[in-house]
Chain A
Amino acid sequence: MKTLRSLTLLAGLIGTAVATFAQDLPLRQILDGTESWELISEGHRFTEGPTADRHGNVYFVDYPTSQIFHVDHATKEVTLFATDSQRTGGMMIGPDGLLYAAQAAAKRIVAYDTTDASFTVIAEGMDVNDLVVAGDGSIWFTDPPAGRIWYVSPDRTVIKPVAENLRPNGIILSHREGTIVTTDANRTALWAFRAELDGSLTAGVPSFGPVELAYGTLLPESDGLTVDTQDRVYVGTRAGIQVFDTEDRYSGTIKVPDRGRRAANLTFGGPDYSWLYIAQQDKVYRIKTQTTGLPYWARDYEAMDRERAERIRRFREAQAQRQREAAGN
């Protein structure tokens, strides 16, 4: 491990060019100004927990009524998937195709079989709010009243708290599942932690920030999180959906349809995961983006490495060409 880390350090330093290569990620790389929001579902009380399955179809929950709905992306048909979900908040489809759900009223994490809405209990006995399921099946979930983050191992034998003294709500993995990012109700920043192999969280700093405030408010009310395939981090706040780049820097705010009303949670969906679905109070909207948000289990990291190397090669080639041209002038 020590060697691995040293090598990574070395690579990180040598890789300054790589680091700066994808540095500035303006919002127009996400929305180019031609797209518009599309209403997908309405008449709910407080929507939450959107997540996409292997077809890019989306599940969301109406928190107060505990109803979980399924959205067929192609037809936009919304159907009831499960009732009595015990005030489910955060949800995420895992690599096993199960729908993991944080049931606040029952104080447990469960996994739904999407074919018949039967479920098994994964962890119980603690307050739960939101969760993230890694590509290897590891789960981290938030317990806001206790100020804790919990971890569940892929084989489900280890269930343990891994961070305390926080005010966490939303939770996600960035940096190719190497970093746990979580909101903090008391801060204008998001926390970043290194996710260790045993699930524990180290190297915690509030590095994603500042999260912007809506005028006249003291805190951003950061809630649900998602990431795109480039590992930009998106967070639902009172001011809109705020986007952070891979250097944990604020890229900008995506304004939501019903201004001033917070989109509590969000996910990418659609067959190529290029549609951003948001749960905004009584409604669910979606918008086509210029990026994709592949679920962790759908990512081919080796292919991504090859593509990245190719992009850097092309960039350096173009740069060398410019230098040759400049030298010739």
Chain B
Amino acid sequence: MHIPRPRRFAALLLAGALATAGWSQETPYELGPDSFPQDGVPTGRLIEATYVCPESSPFYPGTERTYWVYIPAQYDGSAPAALMVFNDGGGYARLDGHTRVPTVFDNLIHRGEMPVTIGVFLNPGIVPPARPNAVARRNRSYEYDTMSDTYARFLIEEFLPMVAAEYDVRITENPDLRGTGGLSTGGIAAFTVAWERPDSFRKVISYIGTFVDIRHGDTYPGLVRKTNLNAHPNLRVYLQDGTNDLDNNHGNWPLANRAMAAAFAYVGIDHHLEIGDGSHNANHGSSIFPDAMRWLWRDWQEASP
């Protein structure tokens, strides 16, 4: 049973995609049954809140962001839960959003296809203006495109401890049970978190990832090829892109994602590249998200929480 998915997120995404790619050639990717509530499957809790980075934060002082926390029905606090963090979290967390992660998690956790997993979904920070007429400074590119450990450290040292304390959840310290995900610039950010902090995150899912030259993300294939493999134990990366994705002043997205996959293949990093014919939107990525989760978490029972 395939049910047509809403095109809301597509409608939000980039003008550049429309200018450079043929809208009408795209396959109409649809969400499958795993992305809809199923009878007899318990529903987890989804909480929405706002986080303001204190001025004393060494990472993103003064930024404000909305975030969501998903706590599965099966979580009872008896053991630490696995973790997945999603960048541009709103689109992933909302039950009518592009990917409906909480619903997918409900279904997959219920069937044992992934562990009991806390979902953390953060939007990027903005700095609201103080002066009249001024506009907010959007911190998204600085947080997501920067090739450093800053965003990973923000998550590990500031944000996730806040979440654990605020919602009284135990999150596993086992990096094999901690993953990150995102799309576009949020996709490269998801990879950067695992690349910089293999001690903390080892599973990555990226849709239409921005592995291009915004902040030198185009250099990742070379870096991957020239880094000793044992620096990234058990790294597992799922990449999705489409042949009609962006080609602009920062680079060419389909080429960039193929270059990443080729580099992973060269050094022997566990990866999967799913190429469709979509443009710069979440349609394809969200339609295959349950399969991607099954692939990422396929041997989760071998890891101890």
Q: Which 9 A-B pairs have the closest CB atoms?
A: A178-B134, A203-B62, A178-B129, A26-B249, A207-B142, A8-B128, A5-B128, A301-B133, A12-B126
Residues on the B chain within 8 Å of A203, using CB? 55, 61-63, 127, 137
Residues on the B chain within 8 Å of A205, using CB? 60-61, 139, 142
In addition to A20-B15, A194-B137, A248-B137, 9 A-B residue pairs with Cβ atoms within 8 Å of each other are: A9-B50, A23-B14, A174-B137, A179-B127, A179-B137, A203-B127, A205-B60, A322-B24, A326-B23
Residues on the B chain within 8 Å of A251, using CB? 249
A135 to B237, CA, bound (A): 49
Residues on the A chain within 8 Å of B61, using CB? 202-205
A50 CB to nearest chain B CB (Å)? 25
Assess A315 versus B142: contact at CB under 8 Å? Given A175-B136, A202-B61: no
Whether the pair A20, B13 counts as a contact (CB closer than 8 A) is yes
Residues on the B chain within 8 Å of A247, using CB? 138, 140-141
B244 at the interface (CB under 8 A from A): no
Residues on the B chain within 8 Å of A323, using CB? 7, 11, 23
A21 at the interface (CB under 8 A from B): yes
Residues on the B chain within 8 Å of A25, using CB? 249
B-facing residues in A300-325 (Cβ within 8 Å): 301, 315, 318-319, 322-323, 325
A192 at the interface (CB under 8 A from B): yes
Residues on the A chain within 8 Å of B286, using CB? none
B248 at the interface (CB under 8 A from A): yes
B238 CB to nearest chain A CB (Å)? 24
Whether the pair A326, B24 counts as a contact (CB closer than 8 A) is yes
B211 CB to nearest chain A CB (Å)? 15
Whether the pair B14, A195 counts as a contact (CB closer than 8 A) is no
Whether the pair A175, B134 counts as a contact (CB closer than 8 A) is yes
Assess A27 versus B136: contact at CB under 8 Å? Given A175-B129, A196-B130: no
Nearest to B64 among chain A residues (CB) is A9
B135 at the interface (CB under 8 A from A): yes
Q: Chain B interface mostly helix, strand, loop or mixed?
A: loop
Residues on the B chain within 8 Å of A24, using CB? 14, 16, 248-250
B-facing residues in A1-34 (Cβ within 8 Å): 1, 4-5, 8-9, 11-13, 16-17, 19-21, 23-27
A177 at the interface (CB under 8 A from B): yes
Most buried by B among A1, A251, A315, A319: A319
Residues on the A chain within 8 Å of B13, using CB? 20
B18 at the interface (CB under 8 A from A): yes
Most buried by B among A134, A247, A251: A247
Residues of A within 8 A of B (CB): 1, 4-5, 8-9, 11-13, 16-17, 19-21, 23-27, 134, 174-179, 192, 194-197, 202-205, 207, 209-210, 246-252, 301, 315, 318-319, 322-323, 325-326, 329
A20 to B124, CA, bound (A): 13
A41 to B99, CA, bound (A): 59
A20 to B281, CA, bound (A): 12
A91 CB to nearest chain B CB (Å)? 23
Residues on the B chain within 8 Å of A179, using CB? 127, 129, 134, 137
A318 to B133, CA, bound (A): 28
B123 at the interface (CB under 8 A from A): yes
B229 CB to nearest chain A CB (Å)? 27
A-facing residues in B232-270 (Cβ within 8 Å): 248-250
Nearest to A28 among chain B residues (CB) is B249
A196 to B135, CA, bound (A): 13
Whether the pair B128, A12 counts as a contact (CB closer than 8 A) is yes
A210 to B216, CA, bound (A): 8
A178 to B129, CA, bound (A): 5
B215 at the interface (CB under 8 A from A): yes
What 1/0 flags go to B1-23 for Cβ under 8 Å of A?
Answer: 00000010001111110100001
Most buried by A among B12, B131, B139, B140: B131
A123 to B288, CA, bound (A): 63
A174 to B135, CA, bound (A): 9
B188 CB to nearest chain A CB (Å)? 13
B273 at the interface (CB under 8 A from A): no
Nearest to B91 among chain A residues (CB) is A16
